[in-house]
Structure 1
Amino acid sequence: MDIYNTNTLINEQTGNLAFKLSSFEDDCQFCSLNRFNYYSLIWIKEGSGTAQIDFAEFDFTAGTLFALAPYQPFVLNEKEKLEGVVLNFHPDFFCIHKHHEQVACNGVLFNNIYSPPYFCVDDGTRREFEMILSQMKSEVQKADLAQYELLVSYLKIFLITASRAKAKQQPESLQDTPDEKEPFILQKLKDLIETHFKSIHSAGEYADMLNISPKALAKITKNHFNKTMTNLISERIVIEAKRELYLTDKSVKEIAFDLGYDDEHYFSRFFKNNADISPKMYRDTVGFARAMA
């Protein structure tokens, strides 16, 4: 591994990583399965490869920025040598849920089951990123007065810039389809999932509500989301569970019941199978009602 220009802040209360900015030039920096307990923004400046994230696989080239939430599993398999920048921050350093109205990145960059967790950085955005990252690097090395507040401000600007860039690209994903009916079905499907994911966990029931066959629905979700219907439902449930574990002091049993699971142990197994970590461990390592303070 060859990581250089690493700038890290540690949370003195927990001993965990709070903020980290690093450059990388490495043959296998992310080639094994990664699940971090903090947010990761990985900007691929040079190289290409294949990314495996959650249940899907994507090809990527130079200029791609990946946005990954805590414990979101990912592997980057390079075809051409990768070089780039990584920006990590823990939810205790900056909570995207608490500051959603300020940065609007939750549901755009992070925690969007309908959109790939990456976008292509154009020349204008690249210049803005370079300027912000330079300011971050300078500030993280100072340990000066109000360092935390200034770094959070730079992080907000970076997230807003990235969210705007990705939002401009999102509408394109539904346009190049030969079936004019499919964009309507996709939007209807999103609305149904957002309305019913806590109570309806069966792919077949969503197909019934859309008046199409389960096979037709499976084809649509595979073509447009590169996921199965079961994957979409599971991811949406896990995202909500993570949000509740972090933002509230509800017990795992209460969260399970709110998400349509009468059996706490069954829900815990479901969560661990999808997040590769137990609900308790997620709360212990990512946070517990700290965002409400």
Structure 2
Amino acid sequence: MSNQNAFTLINPQNGNLAFKLLSFEDNSHFDHIQRNNYFSLIWVNRGNGKVKADFAEHQFEEGSLLAFSPYQPFMICTKEDIEGIAIHFHPDFYCIHMHQKEVSCNGVLFNNVYQPPFTRITDQAKATFQMVIDQMKTEIQNAELAQYELLISYLKIFLITASRLKNEQLEESKSTPDSKEPFILQNLKDAIEDHFKTKHSAGNYADLLNISPKALAKLSKNYFNKTLTDLIAERIIIEAKRELYMTNKTIKEIAYELGYDDEHYFSRFFKTNADVSPQLYRETVGFGKMV
């Protein structure tokens, strides 16, 4: 096996990164704000630190898998060197939205606004990941027939293993009395899912749940480490990205479906929260660039 640290495949049609496997021995790759147009899986084998993602900060331990979506801002802060493996893949290479039934990682590993963006890796999962990564390294150096298809198969094993593990850990946390969320927060999650297209303010949800805005804000901050306004904004942006990625709808149509009559106001809101305009997101990540 080669001692090479990075293995990269480039999309020949546009010159963009398609797939990359990177071994890292310090934090130099992630010690500044990342806003990439691809998915990132960062498996930290040694060391710990703090991850800043979207509107929140979280502590992570050795043996954690961090997962980030395209243009999701994140940065890793450490006081010591960390070591591990990063897998980057563009949605053109593998689209988790189109293959949700196969891997079920959207809303679990990626785009889960209520949970920290990492999973604790068990010894069993570690063995699976190492085997899959070794196979990926071999295949990426082997430009034979159906190379992409085989790499995607390995990536799917990685994603399914990680998603199952994350789901198990979410179920365990629900059944642990000390960490159980107040019932009102499950109602809040349900309310945001049901109404984020029509209700955009924190006050709307306080009214729906018959609780004072101040009390609901405090609960949101304590349990999700985010303000209620941030939670709502994140959920709207995730839906907007999905529509930009998966459909040919105009930005005006998407804005209207998400409850914004003013396309320009929606575009400013999107750019504030996603760091790119809806049009640029579509051109660099979404389906719109292929038609």
Q: TM-score, normalised by structure 2?
A: 0.95
Partner of 1:35: 35
Shift in Å, 1:178: 6.0
The code of the aligned residue for 1:82 comes to I
Stretch moving more, 138-147 or 21-30: 21-30
Partner of 2:44: 44
C-alpha contact (below 8 Å) 2:283/2:289 kept by paired residues:
no
Instruction: Work out the CA distance in 2 between the residues paired with 1:122 and 1:260.
Output: 42
> Which whole-Å deviations, capped at 9, do the CAs of 1:141-168 have from their partners, x for residues lacking one?
1011111111111111110000001111
Instruction: Work out the CA distance in 1 between the residues paired with 2:178 and 2:158.
Output: 36
Shift in Å, 1:175: 4.9
Give the root-mean-square deviation of aligned CA atoms: 1.8
Partner of 1:77: 77
Q: How many pairs does the alignment contain?
A: 289
Partner of 1:60: 60
Partner of 2:269: 270
Shift in Å, 1:176: 5.0
Partner of 1:187: 186
Partner of 1:238: 237
C-alpha contact (below 8 Å) 1:44/1:82 kept by paired residues:
yes
Dislocated runs of 4+, deviation >3 Å: 172-180
For residues 193-232 of structure 1, the aligned pairs below 5 Å read 193-232=192-231
Partner of 1:104: 104
Q: TM-score, normalised by structure 1?
A: 0.95
Q: Percent of aligned pairs with the same residue?
A: 62
Instruction: Work out the CA distance in 2 between the residues paired with 1:95 and 1:82.
Output: 29
C-alpha contact (below 8 Å) 1:4/1:24 kept by paired residues:
no
C-alpha contact (below 8 Å) 1:70/1:286 kept by paired residues:
yes
Shift in Å, 1:172: 3.7
What SS is found at the alignment partner of 1:84? strand
Partner of 2:152: 152
Partner of 2:248: 249
The code of the aligned residue for 1:160 comes to I
Shift in Å, 1:29: 2.3
Structure 1 segments unaligned to the other structure (5+ residues): none
What SS is found at the alignment partner of 1:271? helix
Instruction: Work out the CA distance in 1 between the residues paired with 2:58 and 2:179.
Output: 23
